[in-house]
Amino acid sequence: MNELLIKNACVIDPLRGINAETMDIAIRDGRIVEEVSGAAEVIDAHGALTLPGGIDSHTHICGTKVNFGRYMSPEDMRAGRTPRRGPLHATSGYSVPTTYGNSYRYSVMGYTTLLEGAMAPLEARHTHEEFTYTPLQDTMANVLFDGNWGVMEAIRDGDIKRVAAIIAWTLRAVKGFGVKLTNPGGTEAWQWGKNVSCIRDPVPYFEVTPAEIIRSVVEANELLHLPHSVHLHCNNLGTPGNYTCTLGSLGLIPDLNRKRQTLYATHVQFHAYGGSGWRDFCSKSEPIARFVNMRPQIVMDMGQVMFGKTTTMTADGPMEFNLYRLHHDKWSNHDVELETGSGIIPVIYRRKNLVNSIMWAIGLELALLTKSPWQCLLTTDNPNGAPFVRYPEIIALLMSKRYRDAEFATVHPDTAARVPLPAIERELDWYEIAVMTRAGQAKALGIQDLGKGHLGPGAEADIAIYPLRIDEVDPSTDYRKVIEAFGRTEYTIKRGRVVARRGECLVDGSNATFWVRPKVSDAYDMGKDPDFIEKFDRYYTVRMRNYPVQEEYLNRNRCIETEAAI
Amino acid sequence: MTFLMITGRTVNQGVTVEKKTSAAYAEETSTCFMHEFDMLELGLADLDTVMLTGVCGTVVMRAVASGEVEMGTVFVPYGPYANHIIAADTHSTGMPDFKSHEVEIEPTDEEPKSVHGLMEDLGGLAYDR
Amino acid sequence: MIVKDAVCPFCGCLCDDIEVEVEGNRVVAVANACELGTTKFMCEERLKGPILRDGDGWKEITYDEAIRYAADTLLSAERPLLYGWSGTHGEAQCVGVHMAELIRGVIDNTSSVCHGPSILAIQEVGHPGCTLGVVKNRADLVIYWGSNPIDAHPRHLSRYTRYADGFFLENAFRDRKVIVVDIRRTQTANIADEFVQIKPGGDYAVLSALRAIVQGKTETIPRTVAGVTREQLVRVANLCKGAKFGAVYFGVGLTMTRGKYKNIRNAIELVSELSRHTKFTISAMRGHYNVYGSNEVNTWMTGYPFGIDFSRGIAFYNPGETTAVDILARKECDAALIVGSDPAAHFPRRCLEHLADIPVIQIDPYPNATTAFCNVQIPVAVTGIDAVGTAYRMDGVPIRTRRVLSTDYPSDEEVLLRMYTLMQGAR
Amino acid sequence: MKVTLAMKPGPRSFIPIEAESIVPKNFLAGTDLAVWRGNRELRLDEVFSVSVEGDADRPEDVEVVLSGDDTFRLKRVGEYMDGGKITVLGDIGMHCGNFMSGGTIEIHGNADGWLGREMTGGTILCRGDVADYCASGYRGGRKGMKGGSVEVFGRAGDFLAESIAGGTVTVHGDAGDMAGAEMHGGTLIVHGDCRRPAANMKTGSCYVYGTAQGMLPTFAKNGTVQHEGRTLIHFTGDIANRGKGNLFVKGYKYLD
């Protein structure tokens, strides 16, 4: 029996409505309990800010595309190199660090759970292998269905239950967690070198539109009673004027679920652009935020851009090609048969660049203009907008108008005419930050009942204690202290064990992988469906029996079973 | 005569590659495929032995006519024979010039060595001779 | 007993539709595999147990002794080289990386002498590629450049290209054009619709010329480029631009000739140029069944795909300096661990001369050329035959191999883990 | 101040010694420095006989003299050097003058690969030959040398001045294959012959006073120019890369 008692913690625990109460937290065998014995090890938090472990609900850290980002970027690897030390392995890389680099750096920032935003089913085994080497966080992966032939054919046939059945079979086979649509339809069109222009533009050959894909998959997702909603990367990422497409996509979504949103729209910053081209490019954060404020069924994440070098990587192959044509730097693309694709290019976001400056502003605006922090979560779409190590700066920007103004003074001078940011006075408080970095994520992912994102009895003892007293620090003025504190916990506790202390990781942990197995009736078991099997064997280059990810690949296996309505 | 030596995979090299000490592997990887005109010029018939001399040594192989190689080039399946005369310079890329090596070829009375023999020439000790 | 959907541990095609018939724990028949794969499944000439070089002879030793010897030798080295890895599964490769980190050695895999230059090129310009099934289902034009699949990847043509019908190609043989570019008229050239024969060393110039022609700058190009007429270059460029989906597969014919990675870079830049006109992809014909896996594992664990030097604790990468051939030829290592490859058969002689001078430990199921340079060889189970693990196909698709025979041999992973545990105890 | 580092004769070994600590400014604080032989850390005086004459307050006043038979094993000497002088009385190992921004390195013998990699300023003189990748960039990087000058009195290996973006590289002898590949700025001058110069160049100037072997077909000929008393043929390219660089050669030979 392992017991730990954290005393004098200043707790913000939004899922339980606790806002800055000083209390003790008792932990036994990795879970939070009402009380522990006198033999428990004691940590005195001395009133420091104590939050549930951070959760990143959209990041790219493991899998084929991420690894290709590393593979093609030895120059990136020259930054961030650390040697092996004690139980810790060597790390390399800045924007696309090694798995250990990701894990240690997230841990030092108090993050204990990560969702890989895009996993191609055919290559899922790779993602799971990398999860094993991401030792200090629990992990889960969204599975890409944007160009799935079976799904598109079922949609064309108007058979939503079959859509659900294919999703169910695939999630189970690849040990996936949620349903991801990246540029729905566009990734299939890209396998012909084409794209779809917006949600009404049909996919070549399959003759379904992105709108139909989004609507059908959302319905199927709810038929399967998945913990998470559909996770959507809208069409037309990164193009001027794309906000109308984004609004159109969000407008497709009914409110179908009482416990959580019906749609998670990711990295919306990249989808909130006005203008007819780069010359009149401008922010459209206001209409987007206004729209989301009226629709509880939508949750989004920021996709904040921060200035500096990074590597962009997404399943959105055509978008990356367009970026390549703008930047003329190196470009990788990887189409995956019958399923999806991906692209990668390195970028540098520059303050002196007007477009980049506007992008930087839009992410912040979305967070500040969205009334409920539960509806706009903090991300950079790591590493697309910036590497996640920039999160503390983003927190500080959201909490301090003064900091924003200071930064704004350094960006391209024409930015002010294109964005509403300078006029926004709002400063987020500690509670709202706690929502945007853990509680909101847990709720949006539907994992709060699994003990994630809160500190109530029964919860997993994933805890971040930051070296900061909120009664002593005014984030509006002391934003440097905020950055420092969120960059380096006093303690990061993972499943009841101290894994990081003052910037140093201490152990080589052992994580868990969450995945979902929807239980469907025999009639909807695609493993027994002759048509599905026949097409699989004809068009895939991997045998159907060799496709599913074996349980050997799941380190600590947390299967979530759902009762599907099919 | 001077030739450009190219090395590469062949089915037979692949089939015998896990049996490096077999006669079949030695036979395949000590074959020097040449254009028939070049062989005529050197007075060679199929399976005659030839001495190949590169910048860092010599090795004996058997010449075999092939329609796949151009005059002035020879093709040798990957293996210890070709490597016996290939220089280790990689031009700082990690990769030696496996496909562009100048060699002198002349007829010889010597027989090709065994793989074991080649390894022992370089300081090794054959295990299952 | 017939094991279905077995995974062939020979080449980078990693065919996973093999049927292996087993009787009395021996493979008696193999269906669906090519000659290379069949022979591998049927191969029975294994080393019986660990052996130790003892002066001018060999003696049999126990696994415990061999593993202890290996751990001690590598721990005392100032710059141990850990080389090979492509012939084993990912789980073992992971232990290898941890070991290199711990003992501060250099870890390199066989890609340094196959597609290492391709990786260097990708690191300069990226890589527009795709999985093999995308080509099978869509490509109406396939170009083999400096690769000879009939000899090296026999089923590539039947599973993915020349003879492989796909979703959008009901009759691939009729509807898909194949161009072969090579310096010699290989067997693959004989089944091509168009054969482009280049003078040795001329690939780079031909690729540059094609890039210019695709941009419409034909007038600058001389009448012949490396033995290829301008007319043929224009015809090839037009075939490419006119294709709905083109796929280039290149082999070591490009990576091993002068210029090395610059050839690949130029080929990738040609494909990027063509991508402005139509859909085009390019991919390497990877050799060993899991050489790509060794790149993947090394990359997620160290940040670099091959040639990683941990001498200073942090990972340093510089092919040409930190790659096996260079290190051996320059005598820059003082011990070597060889796993899942046979450098004595595939490295230039100068490298072997250094192997003869330093302690060498080899983990390999078979007696091979490198055995002659070993101080200790430890036999192991064969991944894909009697050991199970992860391998990455040439296009990055990971597949778990199947076990077809039972065995008493330990796997590479087990042997390496035992060595690693001893090393951890000592450090 | 003059620091003399005479390499001690040791057991015959070729394990490289990484000596990035050998930079003039480091000696302002004494000679208590470390170098690495493989994975072993050694004190400077375990490898060298160290002697110091005079003193100095700034790097510019420090000269480091390296001698001994094994100096070819020393890597990374002069890395990040920003002033002062390093004189190598024999050969020097790889990566000498990496990231150098100022000062002078003079090598009396030959230099191994990556001499002056990614340098931004200062001067390197090599009296002997240089191996591959002289004045180049790093793997995957976009820029090689950005400033300063490298002068080689002997020959140069392959990939000379790869990705050069600024500064001047002069080679008095022949250069190898792919000289000035990916050039996008700066000046490369080869007094002898070389192979496939300026492949894929974007901008910059490359002069070959001898013959360009294997001349690439994607350079457009613009007639002749007079340059320092020589008549050179002027090409523009590399058009395969939409380049607008200048390549001047005395003679050229296509691989046709």
Contact C353 B21 (CB under 8 A): no
**Backbone dihedral region of C22: left (phi > 0), alpha (psi from -120 to 50 degrees) or beta?**
beta
For residues B52-59, average pLDDT: 93
Q: How far is CA A565 from the centre of its chain?
A: 27
Instruction: Find out if CATH 3.20.20.140 is the number for domain A51-458+462-505.
Output: yes
Which domains does chain B carry? 2-121 (2.40.40.20)
What's the rounded Cα separation, in Å, for the pair D35 and C268?
Answer: 41
What does residue A126 show for φ and ψ, rounded to 5 degrees? -65, -45
Q: What is the pLDDT of residue B17?
A: 78
* Residue A424 confidence (pLDDT) above 70: yes
CB D57 within 8 A of CB D78: no
D interface test, pick of A72, A73, A75, A329 with most D CB neighbours within 10 Å: A75
ipTM above 0.90, yes or no: yes
Whether D93 contacts chain B with CB within 8 A: no
Q: Identify the three-state secondary structure at position A288.
A: helix
pLDDT in tens, D71-120: 999 999 999 999 999 999 999 999 999 999 999 999 999 999 999 999 99
Contact B92 D176 (CB under 8 A): no
Q: How far is CA A186 from the centre of its chain?
A: 21
Whether A125 contacts chain C with CB within 8 A: yes
Interface of A with C in 499-538 (CB under 8 A): 538
**Residue D256 pLDDT level (bands cut at 50, 70, 90):** confident
What's the rounded Cα separation, in Å, for the pair C243 and C249?
Answer: 16
For residues A438-442, average pLDDT: 98
Whether D176 contacts chain B with CB within 8 A: yes
Mean pLDDT of chain A: 96
What's the rounded Cα separation, in Å, for the pair C110 and D87?
Answer: 39
What's the rounded Cα separation, in Å, for the pair C385 and C8?
Answer: 9
Q: How far is CA A233 from CA A182, A337, A347, C308, in A?
A: 5, 20, 20, 37
Taking each helix axis from N to C end, the angle separating A479-487 and A391-399, rounded to the nearest 10 degrees, works out to 150
**Interface B:D, Cβ pairs < 8 A:** 14
Contact C211 D218 (CB under 8 A): yes
Touch test B–C: 3 Cβ pairs or more under 8 Å = yes
Contact A78 D142 (CB under 8 A): no
Residues in B touching C377 (Cβ below 8 Å): 127
Q: What is the pLDDT of residue A371?
A: 97
* Residue A328 confidence (pLDDT) above 80: no
Of C79, C199, C259, the CB nearest to D15: C79
**Which residue, of C284, C317, C349, is where some domain finishes?**
C284
Express as a percent the part of chain C with pLDDT over 70: 100
Domain of residue C232, residue span: 116-284
Least confident of A191-195, B14-18, D198-202: B14-18
Residues in A touching D136 (Cβ below 8 Å): none
C299 shares its domain with C214: no
Touch test A–C: 3 Cβ pairs or more under 8 Å = yes
Residue A142's beta-bridge partner residues? A178
Express as a percent the part of chain D with pLDDT over 90: 96
Q: Identify the three-state secondary structure at position D190.
A: strand
CB A69 within 8 A of CB C270: no
pLDDT in tens, A361-412: 999 999 999 999 999 999 999 999 999 999 999 999 999 999 999 999 999 9
Q: What is the pLDDT of residue B23?
A: 87
What's the rounded Cα separation, in Å, for the pair C181 and C183?
Answer: 7
C65 shares its domain with C185: no
pLDDT in tens, B88-115: 999 999 999 988 889 999 999 999 999 9
Contact A92 C304 (CB under 8 A): yes
Q: Of D217, D213, D216, D221, which Cα lies nearest the Cα of D248?
A: D221
For residues A324-338, average pLDDT: 88
The dihedral over CA atoms of A30, A31, A37, A40, expressed in degrees to the nearest 10, equals 40
Enumerate the domain spans of chain D. 1-85, 110-256
* Residue A327 confidence (pLDDT) above 80: no
Q: What is the pLDDT of residue C204?
A: 97
The dihedral over CA atoms of C382, C7, C27, C404, expressed in degrees to the nearest 10, equals 70
B48/chain C closest Cα distance in angstroms = 23
Given strand D17-18, what is the order of strands in its sheet?
D40-43, D34-37, D17-18, D74-75
What's the rounded Cα separation, in Å, for the pair D254 and D241?
Answer: 19
Whether A71 contacts chain D with CB within 8 A: no
Interface of C with D in 302-331 (CB under 8 A): 310-312, 317-321, 330-331
* Residue A562 confidence (pLDDT) above 90: yes
* Residue A329 confidence (pLDDT) above 90: no
Residues in C touching A318 (Cβ below 8 Å): none
D186/chain A closest Cα distance in angstroms = 20
Angle at A83 between CA C416 and CA C91, to 5 degrees: 25
Q: What is the pLDDT of residue A246?
A: 97
Side chain identity, residue D32: D
C169/chain D closest Cα distance in angstroms = 33
Overall pTM > 0.95: yes
C222 shares its domain with C295: no
C306 shares its domain with C372: yes
Enumerate the domain spans of chain A. 51-458+462-505
Q: What is the pLDDT of residue B129?
A: 65
Of D39, D114, D139, the CB nearest to C120: D139
Instruction: Tell me the average confidence (pLDDT) per consecutive run of 10 residues in chain C, 427 residues long.
Output: 95 96 94 94 89 95 98 97 96 98 97 96 96 97 96 95 94 94 93 96 97 96 97 98 97 92 97 95 96 97 98 97 98 97 95 97 95 97 94 97 95 97 93
Contact C321 B92 (CB under 8 A): yes
* Residue A138 confidence (pLDDT) above 90: yes
pLDDT in tens, A144-193: 999 999 999 999 999 999 999 999 999 999 999 999 999 999 999 999 99
Whether C104 contacts chain D with CB within 8 A: yes
Residues in A touching C168 (Cβ below 8 Å): 205
Whether A278 contacts chain C with CB within 8 A: no
- Shortest CA distance from D158: residue in chain B: B91
C107 shares its domain with C120: no
For residues B27-36, average pLDDT: 94
For residues A15-44, average pLDDT: 96
Burial (CB count within 10 angstroms: exposed 0-12, middle 13-18, buried 19+), residue D106: middle
